[in-house]
Amino acid sequence: MKEEEKVKYAIEKLKTAFIRLREGAEEAGDELDKDGVIQRFEFTFELLWKALKIYLEYNGIEVRTPRNSLKEAFRINLFDDEEIFLDMLADRNLTSHIYDIETSEEIFDRIKAVYIPAIEKVLKKLRTEIE
């Protein structure tokens, strides 16, 4: 697979996961639904940082970790607010260790209010950059 095709494929996988995340967040009603949204967020975040990694490598920038991918993507202006994406990383790391409803509710609220719009914006930017 050519490098450009890899980037397009990674972006397309991210787009699909993002759509499912957004739909889940819009429709979530009870605690079980919200837990599902948090799992979709974890999956979407994984695809996000990996798509960024592939895009960065396509542009000659070598990264290895989610944090490096986010920092380099910010450095080349793929998104404006680095802190949102670093918070996203922290919340993704926290979600695998959530043991209380209050924390999961806070993360769900951030996913819905902050992370979904931020991911949507970077997804549009990536799609524009590669087309």
Q: Output the pTM of the full model.
A: 0.94
3-130 CATH, one of 3.30.565.10, 3.40.1050.10, 3.30.460.80, 1.20.120.330: 1.20.120.330
| pLDDT tens per residue across span 53-68 | 999 999 999 999 999 9
The three-state DSSP-derived secondary structure of the chain is: CCHHHHHHHHHHHHHHHHHHHHHHHHHCCCHHHHHHHHHHHHHHHHHHHHHHHHHHHHCCCCCCCHHHHHHHHHHCCCCCCHHHHHHHHHHHHHHCCCCCHHHHHHHHHHHHHHHHHHHHHHHHHHHHHHC
Domain ranges of the chain: 3-130
| pLDDT tens per residue across span 30-58 | 999 999 999 999 999 999 999 999 999 99
| pLDDT tens per residue across span 67-105 | 999 999 999 999 999 999 999 999 999 988 877 889 999
